[in-house]
Amino acid sequence: MSFKLVMLWTDVMIFLLLAVALGGAWWIRRRPHLLLPWQRLFKSRVGMVAMLVLSLFVVIGLLDSLHYRVALPEKNSNGQTVYAAEVLSVFDTLVGDLRSHSEKTYSAPLAVYLYAKESMETADGKILRDYPRLKYGGAHLRDPQSEHAADVIKRSLYGVFAGWLGGVLLALLIVSFAAARSRTSARAWVEARQNTPLNAMLATLVLLAMLFGLAANLAGAYHLLGTDKVGQDVLYLSLKSIRTGLVIGTVTTLVMLPFALFFGIAAGYFRGWVDDVIQYLYTVLSSIPSVLLIAAAVLMMQVTIEKHGEWFASSVERADLRLLFLCLILGVTSWTGLCRLLRGEALKLRELEYIQAAQAFGVSSLRILSRHILPNVMHIVLIAVVMDFSALVLAEAVLSYVGVGVDPSTNSFGTLINNARLEMGREPMVWWTLASAFGFMLVLVLAANLFADAVRDAFDPHLNRTGDA
C-alpha cells in the first residue's frame, strides 16, 4: 500500500519541539551543573509519576501527528496514483476499527442497543418499535440479554490480566536492561535505587498497562465510552482530542518564547528607551482582557481564511492552520507575563559583579546577553513553560465554547464539550460524551499541574531546600 506523507504546520511545530527537547536533553547530559536540578526533579515521586502519565499522552499525541494520505486502488487517466482526500494519522491506523465503526446515533457506554427507538420489521412482517441492536457494539453476542454482563466481565478480567502481564514483563525488561548496562544484577540495581521514585514509577507503569489492557479488550468489541450524536466512538474522539490539547499547550509557548526572551532580557539589560518601548508594548497588550483580544484576533483570522480559500488543499489543512493561528494568538496574549518576569530578573542580574566585570573587560553586549544573562534566566523560562501548559489546555475548551477556539471540524476537548453541552437535557440523559471529555482533560491537566509543581520545586532557587520537598 503506497501512501503520501502529509506534513501539517502543527506537525512540523511538534516535531521541531521534540527535536529541541531531545537536543536540549543531550546537551544538558554532559554538563553536571545543569544536570543538578533535573536530578532533583527525578527524585520527586509525584513529579515522576505525573511525568509518566504525561508521556503516555505525549506518545498518543506524537502518533497522531504523523499524517499521511493513502493511495487509492485506481489510477487516474494519466496513470498517476491518486491519493484519498482523507488525511489519516498513524494513530488512526493503530486504533483501526475504533475510527470506522460508527453507529447511527447515541449509544451508552458498553451498550448493545441504540439510544433511540426505531421501527423495525420483524420476521413475520410486523412493524415493531424498539431499540435496535448496534451495528458493532457487542455484535458478537447472540443473546445480549443473558450474555452481555458476563461477556463484559470476562473481557474486563482478561484485559486487566493481559495488561498486568504485559506491564510486569515491560517493567522487568526495563530493569534488566538498565542493570545490564550498568553491569550489575537486577536486584542490586533496584536496591541501589531505594530512595528514588523507581518503585512508584514501575507500579504506575503496571497500572497504566492494566488500564490499557482493559480499555483495549473492551473497545475491541464494544463502544467503551459510548457513541456521540452521529454515532462516532467517544473513546476515539477523546483520544484524538489529546493532540489538539498538546499542540495548544506546547506550540503556543514555543511561539511566544523567542519574543518573551528577547524583549524581556533586552528591556532589563539595556534599560533606558529600550525598556520604555518594550514596557509600553506589553502594557498595551496586557491591558486588553485576553479573551477579548483572542476573540477579536480570531474573528479577523476567520475573515482572512474565508478570503483565501485557495491557500488550502484540504479542509484538514485549513483547520490545521486555524489551530496554528490560535496558538499564535494565545502566544501573543500570554507573552506579557513571562516578559515581565524576565525583565525583572535581567534588571537584577545586570547589577551583579560578574556581569559588571564582563562589561569592564569590554565584552560585547550580545555576548554578555547570550553567555551570562540567558543561561541564568532559563529556569524561569522552564518553570513558566511548564506552568502555562495546563492553563492553556483549559483555555482551549473555554475558547472553543465561546466560538473562537479551534475549527469545529478539529477534534478537541472544547469541541467535544461544545457539541455535547445540550445533551444533559435529553431524557434519558446523554452524559458519556461530557464525562469522557472532562475526564480525559482532568487527567491531562492534573498530571501537568503536578509535574509543573515538581519542576518548580526542583528549579526555583528561591525555595529553601532544607526539607525533603
Partner 1 sequence: MIAYLIRRILYAVPILIGVNLLTFALFFVINTPDDMARMQLGMKRVTPEAIDKWKQQRGYDKPLMFNVQAAGTEKLTDTIFFRKSASMFVFDFGYSDDGRSISREILTRMLPSLVIALPTFVVGLLLYVTFALLMTLFRGTVLDLAGVTLCVLLMSISSLFYIIGGQFLVSKLWHWVPISGYAGGVDSLRFILLPVLIGIVAGIGSSSRWYRTIFLEEVGRDYVRTARAKGLSELRVLFKHVLKNAMIPILTGVVAVIPLLFMGSLLTESFFGIPGLGSYTIDAIQAQDFGVVRAMVFLGSALYIVGLILTDISYTVVDPRVRLQ
Tell me what percent of the chain is helix, strand and coil, each rounded to the nearest 5.
70, 5, 25
Tell me which of 3, 158, 312, 401 binds partner 1, using CB under 8 A: 401
The residue (of 329 and 346) whose beta carbon lies closer to partner 1 is 329
Q: Is residue 310 a contact residue for partner 1 (CB under 8 A)?
A: no
Instruction: Give the whole-angstrom CA distance, residue 241 versus residue 432.
Output: 15
Candidates 367, 91, 372, 134; CA nearest to 246 is 91
- Residues in 96-125 at the binding interface with partner 1, rule: CB under 8 A: none
Can you list the alpha helix ranges (DSSP code H) found in 220-289? 234-270, 272-287
Distance CA 248, CA 394 (A): 10
| Piece in contact with partner 1 (CB under 8 A), picked from 17-25, 125-133, 303-311, 374-382 | 303-311
CB-wise, 202 or 297, nearer to partner 1?
297
Residues of this chain, 426-455, that bind partner 1 according to CB under 8 A = 434, 438, 441-442, 445-446, 449-450, 453
Tell me the closest approach of the beta carbon of residue 454 to partner 1, in angstroms. Answer: 12
Closest CB 418 distance from partner 1, rounded Å: 9
The rounded distance, in Å, linking the Cα atoms of 83 and 279 is: 51
Least distance to partner 1 from the beta carbon of 430, Å? 12
Pick 126 or 307: Cβ nearer partner 1:
307
- By C-beta, is 206 or 450 nearer to partner 1? 450
Does the footprint of partner 1 cover residue 295 (CB under 8 A)?
Answer: yes
133 with 139: CB under 8 angstroms? yes
Residue 284 contacts partner 1 per CB under 8 A: yes
If one asks whether residue 293 binds partner 1 (CB under 8 A), the answer comes out as yes
Nearest to 250 by CA among 67, 455, 21: 21
CA distance 97 to 453: 39
Best CA proximity match to 244, nearest among 435, 55, 65, 53: 65
Nearer to partner 1 among residue 55 and residue 283 (C-beta): 283
Q: Which of 303, 352, 357, 469 lies at the binding interface for partner 1 (CB under 8 A)?
A: 303
Q: Give the whole-angstrom CA distance, residue 240 versus residue 95.
A: 11
Kindly state whether residue 299 participates in binding partner 1, applying the rule CB under 8 A.
yes
Q: What is the DSSP string of 106-148?
A: -B-TT-SB-SS-EEEE-TTS-EEEEPPBPSSTTTT-S-HHHHH
Contact with partner 1 (CB under 8 A) among 398, 460, 461, 465: 398
Binding residues with partner 1: total (CB under 8 A): 44
> What is the rounded distance in angstroms from the CA atom of residue 388 to the CA atom of residue 380?
12
Q: Which residues pair with 6 in a beta bridge?
A: 67
Q: Tell me: does residue 296 bind partner 1 (CB under 8 A).
A: yes
Q: Residue 386: what are its φ and ψ, rounded to 5°?
A: -70, -40
Nearest approach in angstroms of CB 424 to partner 1 is 5
Grid cell locating 389: 501548559
* DSSP calls for 275-301: HHHHHHHHHHHHHS-HHHHHHHHHHHH
| CA distance linking residue 370 with residue 251, whole number of Å | 24
Most distant CA pair in the chain, distance: 100
List the x/- string, 405-424, binding to partner 1 by CB under 8 A: --------x---x---x--x
**Residues near 281 by Cβ (< 8 Å), separated by ≥ 6?**
263
Q: Is 230 in the site for partner 1 (CB under 8 A)?
A: no
Give the residue, chosen from 280, 460, 465, 469, that forms a contact with partner 1 under the rule CB under 8 A: 280
Q: Which of 135-143, 202-210, 276-284, 314-322 is the region at the interface with partner 1 (rule: CB under 8 A)?
A: 276-284
Member of 121, 306, 353, 468 binding partner 1 (CB under 8 A): 306
53 counts as binding partner 1 under rule CB under 8 A: no
Among 143, 287, 310, 466, binds partner 1 (CB under 8 A): 287
Window of 103-111, 127-135, 173-181, 399-407 that interacts with partner 1 by CB under 8 A:
399-407
| Interface positions, 368-397, toward partner 1 (CB under 8 A) | 390, 394, 397
Smallest separation, CB 404 to partner 1 (Å) = 6
| C-beta separation of 320 from 363 below 8 A | no
Verify binding: residue 30, partner 1, rule CB under 8 A.
no
Please say whether the beta carbons of 323 and 10 come within 8 A.
yes
Cβ distance 230 to 105 under 8 Å? yes
Nearer to partner 1, 286 or 376 (CB): 286
Binding footprint of partner 1 on the chain (CB under 8 A): 280, 283-289, 291-293, 295-297, 299-300, 302-304, 306-307, 309, 390, 394, 397-398, 401-404, 413, 417, 421, 424-425, 434, 438, 441-442, 445-446, 449-450, 453
